[in-house]
Amino acid sequence: MRPLLLAAFAFALLPPMGDGVTPTDSPRFRGQDLVRPEGHDRWPVVCTSIGLSYAAPMANDGPGAFHRVYMNPSAYETFKRTGIFPEGTTFVLEIHESAEKTSIARGGFFEGKRIALEASVKDSKRFRSGWAYFGFANGALASATPNDDSQCHSCHVKHGKIDSVFVQFYPNLRDRR
């Protein structure tokens, strides 16, 4: 009888199914501040790039920085199924300097030191524009205030292919099946 009672107790601790389920990878806030997403490095990678920039490259600038964009798994699955970014969609951008000729590496480039950690979140109830953009001072901050620089959002609105998101650079989203 005890194993059955233990199983019933464990089942009662599970979140309810259906509408209203809050995925465990949903963004967490302290007021308007986004709590830095922990474990984002285990989320699906939707984009990697090197040297992707909004400014013209400078001569002898090397290959540029490495960018890696992660997306929270529940939103990723919803988007792959529906083509719509649900409320709570979270993207995390890590930027690493390019490094070369270290240890045994004699050619090519690899990700060096991380130089930025940023995020964007879709939350139409919390943010008037629907999306907000955050910088975590390269991970030094446990939470970040929304970037009130309207340039971020206006650029995303103007150039984002779907719902202000640059899916044109994200093959896992661009080529959804």
19, part of any domain: no
44, part of any domain: yes
Domain count, the chain: 1
* Host H or E run for residue 87: none
68, part of any domain: yes
Q: What is the pLDDT of residue 36?
A: 96
SS3 content of the chain, % helix, strand, coil (to 5): 25, 30, 45
133, part of any domain: yes
Q: What is the pLDDT of residues 58-76, one digit of tens each?
A: 666 678 999 999 999 999 9
Check: CB of residue 50 under 8 Å from CB of residue 66: yes
Check: CB of residue 95 under 8 Å from CB of residue 115: yes
Average pLDDT over residues 69-91: 97
CA pair distance 66, 19, nearest whole angstrom? 38
88, part of any domain: yes
Which residues are within 8 A (CB) of 51 and not within 5 positions of it... i.e. 6 or more apart? 57, 63, 64, 65
Confidence class for position 4, pLDDT limits 50, 70, 90:
very low
61, part of any domain: yes
- Give the residue numbers spanning the domain of 162: 25-174
Q: What is the pLDDT of residue 100?
A: 82
How long is the chain? 177
Q: What is the pLDDT of residues 5-29, one digit of tens each?
A: 433 333 333 333 334 445 679 999 9
Position 149 pLDDT exceeds 90: no
- Helices (DSSP H) in the chain: which residue ranges? 2-13, 73-82, 150-159, 171-174
| DSSP, res 102 | -
Check: CB of residue 162 under 8 Å from CB of residue 174: no
Q: Please give the structure tokens belonging to residue 2.
A: 């005890």
CA count, 13 A, side-chain hemisphere, 18: 1
Confidence class for position 152, pLDDT limits 50, 70, 90:
confident
Task: Name the residue among 81, 74, 169, 159 with its Cα closest to residue 122.
Answer: 74
CATH number for the domain spanning 80: value is 3.50.70.20
11, part of any domain: no
Q: What is the pLDDT of residues 98-130, one digit of tens each?
A: 988 778 867 788 889 999 999 999 999 999 889
13, part of any domain: no
The average confidence (pLDDT) of the chain is: 83
Task: Name the residue among 151, 148, 172, 173 with its Cα closest to residue 161.
Answer: 173
